[in-house]
Amino acid sequence: MTQRVELATVMARLAVDEVVTEYAVAVDDGDWTAYRRLFTPDGRADYRSAGGIEGDAGRIAGWLSQTMALFPMRQHLIVNRRVRFGPLEQDTGDTARVRADYVNPMRFAGHDGGSTEPDFVCGGRYDFTLLRTDEGWRLRTVVVHEKWRRAPQRHTEPATP
């Protein structure tokens, strides 16, 4: 591998990593316009394993905006990113696949608009596929594979006689 190819690969890897980071930030910040811009025009996401829906990026952004309103505090931690590049139309490096683990702590909205309920935490793995476009790298698909979740336990006071 030549130095030029190695440098191009490193630059592509950094750009792909930035898209994954921007994905997490858009969801955590509730920036659904930024979320939509991360996808190709035919981009899709699948949240069914986490109890969600599957569809095009616009439909998913609408669903997320409603669902995430339950959680005013959220923080995606996307780690263990494995990036693989592939060819499209015989041009090496036009596609990328990222498999990454995630932990996602969130806080339920309280009745007074604050965050008073216990945390909801889930974890699993993302499968991202990306396409290099004239505008840079864009998400073609996002698939969530939720592996576990910890929901708050409702504590009830013992009944008084």
Give the domain ranges of the chain: 3-150
Is-contact 79 100, C-beta < 8 A?
yes
Q: What is the CATH number of domain 3-150?
A: 3.10.450.50
Q: Which DSSP letter does residue 115 get? A: -
130-152: per-residue pLDDT in tens? Answer: 999 999 999 999 999 999 999 87
Would you call 129 helix, strand, or coil by DSSP? strand
Rounded distance, CA 37 to CA 70, Å? 24
Summarize the confidence of residues 62-84 as an average pLDDT. Answer: 94
- Can you read off the two tokens belonging to residue 94? 């036009």
Rounded distance, CA 100 to CA 126, Å? 5
pTM: 0.86
Residues forming beta bridges with residue 150, ordered by sequence position: 121
Is-contact 50 64, C-beta < 8 A?
no
**CA 41 to the chain's CA centroid:** 18
Give the pLDDT band (50/70/90) at residue 109: confident
Is-contact 38 26, C-beta < 8 A?
yes
